[in-house]
């Protein structure tokens, strides 16, 4: 169930990032083209007047940097290929190193399996005699409730972090364009910092949930083993 929810949310967020980033690019393109045109005209005018004391190579590099940033921010597929897939790659690499898993939904489903087995064992034992053992029914209900609550909490935290990263990626082209000028460069740096924070938040959540899932699975298996020997 958690795997299905994760896949559905991932598909929805991918579609949201595509449509929203394209909309941002569509709105931002006239502003970006105007700003770049004025910048190139102004620097060219300064060169003709002899006001530029920098070497020609420095000026050429500056124009190349402007063209590179403009091409990245105004080309939706290129932006998503380099920026979005790059951040996703960082997240997957660290998640694999820290937690050893790439699918949070699969981890949550595996975490719930021992609870389900323990609950079924308790319910079966509670109804096996002539007189129902209500204490075992209560224990089985507690196991079922604990499994559902932990799955919802774990999935909720993970999805909140993924949604925050998707929102940052949706408005990314506008902030990356700010890296072109020294006056607005801090906005691009803040956006990149926020995006990396969201990425590592996802990684830490995955690592913590994986660790807790392992502990809970071992605890349930220990209870089942002890119960079967009695």
The closest alpha carbon to 139, from 165, 160, 156, 120, belongs to 120
* Angle of CA points 148, 153, 158, to nearest 5°: 130
Each residue's pLDDT tens digit, 133-179: 777 778 778 878 877 887 788 788 888 888 888 899 999 888 888 88
Core vs surface per residue 13-51: b (16+ CB within 10 A) or e: beeebbebbbebbeebeeebeebbeebeeebeeeeeeee
Q: 102: which residues sit within 8 A by CB, 6+ positions away?
A: 92, 95, 96
Neighbours of 2 (CB within 10 A): 21
> Is residue 199 over pLDDT 90?
no
Each residue's pLDDT tens digit, 31-52: 888 888 888 788 777 777 776 6
pTM here? 0.76
């Amino acid at each position: 169930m958690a795997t299905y929810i994760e896949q559905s949310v991932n598909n929805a967020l991918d579609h949201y990032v595509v449509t929203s980033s394209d909309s941002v690019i569509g709105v931002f393109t006239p502003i970006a083209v105007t700003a770049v045109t004025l910048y190139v005209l102004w620097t060219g005018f300064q060169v003709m007047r002899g006001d530029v004391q920098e070497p020609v190579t420095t000026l050429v590099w500056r124009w190349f940097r402007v063209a590179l940033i403009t091409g990245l921010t105004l080309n939706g597929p290129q932006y998503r290929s380099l920026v979005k897939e790059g951040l996703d790659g960082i997240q997957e690499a660290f998640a694999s190193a820290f937690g050893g898993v790439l699918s949070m939904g699969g981890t949550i489903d595996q975490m719930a399996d021992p609870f389900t087995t323990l609950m079924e064992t308790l319910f079966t034992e509670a109804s096996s005699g002539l007189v129902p053992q209500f204490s075992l029914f209560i224990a089985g209900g507690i196991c079922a409730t604990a499994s559902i609550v932990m799955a919802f909490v774990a999935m909720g935290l993970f999805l909140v972090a993924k949604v925050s990263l998707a929102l940052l990626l949706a408005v990314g082209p506008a902030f990356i364009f700010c890296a072109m000028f020294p006056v607005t460069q801090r906005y691009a740096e803040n956006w990149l910092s926020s995006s990396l924070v969201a990425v590592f938040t996802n990684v830490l959540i995955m690592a913590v949930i994986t660790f807790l899932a392992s502990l809970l699975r071992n605890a349930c298996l220990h209870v089942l083993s002890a119960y079967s020997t009695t």
